[in-house]
Amino acid sequence: MKNILLIGLGAIGSMVASKFPDNNVKIDILLDEERYQSYKNKPIIINDCEYAFNYVTNSSYNKKCDLAIIATKYDDLPAALSELDGLLGDNCTIMSLLNGIDSENIISEKFGEERCIYAFITKTDATRVGRSTSFIADGHIYFGEKNGEASQRTKTISDILSSVGMSHSIVDDILTRQWKKFMINIGMNQVSAILGATYGDFIQVPEVLDLTVKAMREAVSVANAMGIPIKESDIHRALAFLSSLSPDGKTSMHQDVDAKRKTEVNMLAGVLIELGKKYNVATPINDVFYLQIKAIEKMYGK
């Protein structure tokens, strides 16, 4: 996997991207034409250091991509995939670091399931404000084949991530692990966006954590109806990492609300609500969360 593309320079994308030049490993950042014009002459700042990445567009990229890492927002995924049209090598693998449980399905519909490696990133407190990203915890990438089998490409991707110092694990139960991460985001991201809670608030304010746990229980119920083996104890185990994060740090959805950006509520409550209907599982808390966050978005600037 010689030619690596990364799409999406938000908090997660810029944090991951910075690992490559820091370790003298080549990576290209794929942008649409509008973003290319905005980024090409103005470095972004990551942990107080300037980065001038090698930016490319669909029309200027003159290679065939071997590994595409996608770190866009959920609603930007279809546009990002369009930018990849014509750029994929015969054996190109696409790794999505998006939150949620269905980005691989969207990718598979366009490029084929055989190109997808299932993945997610967790335990990072990366925060982006304007063109500046900061983080203490750079997180851990879990990834694996959908069927749980070992493969040559998972080993190759592991070698790449090791070469740039990115903490990671190859796992044989990636779908279950994705659901556990989805469960966390159902609670933490949405509660933080609605209440303006920082990571420290989840520890210091019992009501914030209680509301989070109740929302996460709905995700457990839906997952169980689908045959995904997660349980109540996974909620408390998953939240144990909170104390390792900066107390002033904010979830990505909290950052979106602060910046008056469109959130990923469609990917979180939106997806869970639809699955709840499909599997006859009530999701009253997420029903309310969905309406609250949509209302917040529509009230920006008022």
- Could you report the per-residue pLDDT of 14-42, keeping only the tens digit for each? 999 999 999 999 999 999 999 999 888 88
| Domain, as residue range, for 230 | 176-298
Residue 302 has pLDDT above 80, yes or no: no
pLDDT at 125: 80
Confidence bin at 99 (pLDDT 50/70/90): confident
Say if residue 123 is in the same domain as residue 181: no
**Within this chain, do residues 199 and 223 fall inside the same structural domain, yes or no?**
yes
| Closest C-alpha to 133, from 125, 144, 121 | 125
Over residues 283-294, the mean pLDDT reads 98
Q: What's the confidence (pLDDT) of residue 111? A: 97
CATH number at residue 268: 1.10.1040.10
Contacts of 27 (CB under 8 A, 6+ apart): 4, 5, 6, 17, 20, 21, 53, 54
Q: What are the residue ranges of helices labelled H in the chain?
A: 11-22, 33-39, 77-83, 103-111, 152-163, 174-195, 199-204, 206-225, 232-238, 252-258, 271-278, 284-298
Please tell me what DSSP assigns to residue 197. Answer: -
pLDDT of 47 reads: 95
pLDDT for the residue numbered 241: 81
Query: Domain total for the chain?
Result: 2
Amino acid letter, 129 = V
Q: Among residues 145, 172, 199, which one ends one of the domains?
A: 172
Q: If DSSP codes are grouped into helix, strand and coil, which group holds residue 3?
A: coil
pLDDT bucket at 13, cuts 50 / 70 / 90: very high
Say yes or no: 158 and 281 in one domain.
no
Of 120, 140, 172, which marks where a domain is finished?
Answer: 172
Backbone angles phi, psi at 179, to 5 degrees: -65, -35
Other beta carbons within 10 Å of 81:
21
Averaged over 131-143, what is the pLDDT? 91
In the three-class reduction of DSSP (H, G, I as helix; E, B as strand; rest coil), residue 165 is classed as coil
- For the chain, what is the mean pLDDT? 94
Q: How confident is the model at residue 242 (pLDDT cuts 50, 70, 90)?
A: confident
Task: Clarify whether residues 160 and 206 are in a common domain.
Answer: no
Strand partners, 65: 88
Asked whether residue 141 falls in the same domain as residue 259, the answer is: no
pTM of this prediction? 0.86
